[in-house]
Chains A and B, each alone.
Chain A
Amino acid sequence: METIRKFERVLEIVEQNKRQPSRLIPILQEVQTEYRYLPEEVLTFIATSLGISPAKVFGVATFYSLFTLKPKGKYHIRVCNGTACHVKSSMGIYKAIQKKLKLHDGKETTDDMLFTVETVNCLGACGLAPAMVINEEVFGQLTPEKAERIIDGIIEKEAAYELDYHGA
């Protein structure tokens, strides 16, 4: 049932783009907005409905950095490590967040699927260096402490929500 619903929405997106292979990138963008990542079976489905090879769709989906084939946490944290942020010690912020969320050995997403932490190249927010983006919100002029406080804020908010929702 879940799967059928999933494909229905994908099909809608494909139809809205008139099944044009040239619109593959906008299609993938919309699908990702919908599912927050690009599931493999969806990519194959898109390929079939556009009449192009799955290899081509995977090729495009893996080429661009805004596409992801892995599920991301509810809060997708991207720490900018462009040159401007780098000179302002962006890696210190990245490491502080990793440590706080106990992410190590290349692990990017927390087990509870709440956070994904990555570094990215230049967000074009150099005026705010060092900067990070959580989902679409930009946070700038960070220090490791400030970044940790932001994470704490999210954890608290989520805990309160859980309590509201499932609490006694």
Chain B
Amino acid sequence: MNLVRNHILISIDSSTIMAGARAVERAFVDELLNRGLQDEVSVLETGSLGLINRGVVLVVYPEGVIYADVTTKDVPEIVEEHILKGRFVERLVVKEMPKQHVIKREKTGLLKEQPRIVLRNSGIINPESIDEYIATGGYEAASKIINEMKPEEVIEEVKRSGLTGRGGAAFSTGMKWDFARRAKGDVKYIICNADEGEPGTFKDRLILEGDPHKLLEGMLIAGYAVGAQYGYIYIRGEYVLSIERLEKAIKDAEALGLLGENIFGSGFSYHVSIKKGAGAYVCGEETALIESLEGKRGHPRSKPPYPVTEGLWGKPTVINNVETLANIPEIMRNGASWFRGYGTEKCPGTKVYTIIGHVATPGLIEAEMGTTLRDIIFEYGGGIKNGKKFKCALVGGAAGAFLGPDMLDVNMDFVSLREYSAVLGSGAILVMDEDTNIVEMLKNVLHFFRHESCGHCVPCRLGTAQLVKIIDRVADSKGKREDIDKLLRISEVMRDTSFCPLGQSLYLPISSTLKYFRDEMLSMI
């Protein structure tokens, strides 16, 4: 094994590739070769560091210095100054170092403020190397479980951890698995919902790009616990890099016997494959997703029966979100009580957020359940861009609620937010400054829902069309006073009568807009 004195880790993810990360990577390789340093310094690929919107991002170890906005022109300077002379190229160093950019894994110092469970390896290991995943303790939990534990014990442990679905519904993961395990049937399925379509959300994309094996291990454990033979990853067709990395990860895991027939010689066989979605927001709803997997239009089914008893092809099926499954290997490796050490009593663990909109440093972070919205926006996100004032944040995606300044100190977790009629949802936090036109925002949200309404049930199909008509009128300053209340009334009926969560959830963005900005809306009339 070569001893190297520096490691240069370049983030190769969907946003850095666009900024030219691969060219920068090649430039480093060439530059090091030219100077005969190729044996002393190694250039490696890794996932997202959480820093987005900052061009090509890389870290140089052992110093752990993060450089952003790096172009090929900067490469000779970094090699000359940093690698050879030990002086940092200050103009490129990420100086503000908000908490989100700390990538050391120890539970001390700054990182104490960003415990990374799901994103533990992202920005540290090469996502395309199964060896690196294994070297960080990967597949350790799966091997222990399959060799030494009964499925029931696994489910007990997951139940004890208090892990709930991170896709938004927050249902107990352990319970869901238990239902499917007890359900009658020889054939059972695990489906990973990676059809991330909630506007403002791209956490699953970066989890998959940064650490695909973590998801596979989570699915493997779920499969063993439930007694499933097949796992499907239903992923957005646009997530090209995630799909590539998952395909490679599956192949590598199969080659090592971690997926496929007779895993670890235990007699347990489990196959995972990828299914590309064709673009339909409603397929985030689990029964619509199943319909789509069966080759049909993504219309939701009526429940009960629930998928845990009658899911894909009528067989017991567990559907979990990417983030939920990515928690599993760490929970099983470190134990339920370790997991409960994070977050709140009722909502243990962490949540991955995407902070976007008018913030100084947009990014991907992982924070303990119960962290306040203020901390997320002002600590991790660096506050409002250009020194403007905070107006509101749309939390949880388009199906979420607008939260005003009075909500900044509410704890962000499933239970606390519910008390305020808000949701954590997908973890998207879209921050808006004082100059944002709220009517335009609501218009965007309503148009989105009209487009994505699947047409299956009347309240949602007609409701979304009417809501769009009204909001367009208001935005054009042609609205009437009663239009404002009509919006609320229609969405109330939709909440109470729509067939699936798509139509039901519109009440939230509408009622929360009216709570804070009724006057602003009336001023448009």
Contacts and interface: CB of A to CB of B under 8 A. Distances in A.
Contacts of A67: 278-279
B18 A128 contact: yes
A121 B295 contact: no
A141 B430 contact: no
A19 to B, nearest CB: 12
A123 B430 CA distance: 15
A56 B357 CA distance: 40
Contacts of A125: 14-15, 202
A63 B282 CA distance: 11
B363 interface: yes
Contacts of B275: 26
A63 B288 CA distance: 12
Nearest to B242: A124
Interface in A18-67: 20-26, 28-29, 56, 59-60, 63-67
Interface in B228-243: 236-240
Interface in B259-307: 275-281, 292, 294-298
Contacts of A136: 240
Interface residues of A, number: 40
Contacts of B281: 121
A60 B295 contact: yes
B358 to A, nearest CB: 7
A23 B295 contact: yes
A63 B445 contact: no
Contacts of B430: 83-84, 87
A126 interface: yes
Given A121-B199, A123-B238, A126-B202, A83 B398 contact: yes
> Which 8 residue pairs spanning A and B have beta carbons closest together?
A127-B52, A64-B278, A65-B279, A66-B279, A82-B199, A122-B199, A24-B295, A63-B297
A138 B18 contact: yes
B297 A83 contact: no
B139 to A, nearest CB: 28
B200 to A, nearest CB: 5
Interface of B: 14-15, 18, 52-53, 196-202, 205, 236-240, 275-281, 292, 294-298, 354, 356-358, 362-364, 394, 397-398, 428, 430, 432, 436, 440-441, 444-445, 448, 451-452, 454
A40 to B, nearest CB: 18
A22 B298 contact: no
A9 B298 CA distance: 27
B444 A83 contact: yes
A75 interface: no
Contacts of B278: 25, 28-29, 64-67
Interface of A: 20-26, 28-29, 56, 59-60, 63-67, 81-84, 86-88, 121-129, 133, 136-141
Contacts of B202: 124-127
Contact of B200 (A29, A64, A126): A126
Contact of B196 (A64, A124, A137): A124
Given A67-B278, A140-B15, A60 B296 contact: yes
A81 B445 CA distance: 10
A133 to B, nearest CB: 8
A107 to B, nearest CB: 19
Given A29-B237, A126-B201, A22 B18 contact: no
14 contacts: A60-B295, A65-B280, A83-B200, A83-B444, A83-B445, A84-B430, A121-B448, A122-B448, A124-B197, A124-B201, A124-B205, A126-B362, A127-B52, A127-B356
Given A21-B295, A63-B297, A124 B239 contact: yes
Contact of B52 (A29, A56, A123, A128): A128
A66 B237 contact: yes
Contacts of B451: 121
Nearest to A32: B278
A22 B275 CA distance: 12
B14 A126 contact: no
A70 B140 CA distance: 50
A66 B356 CA distance: 25
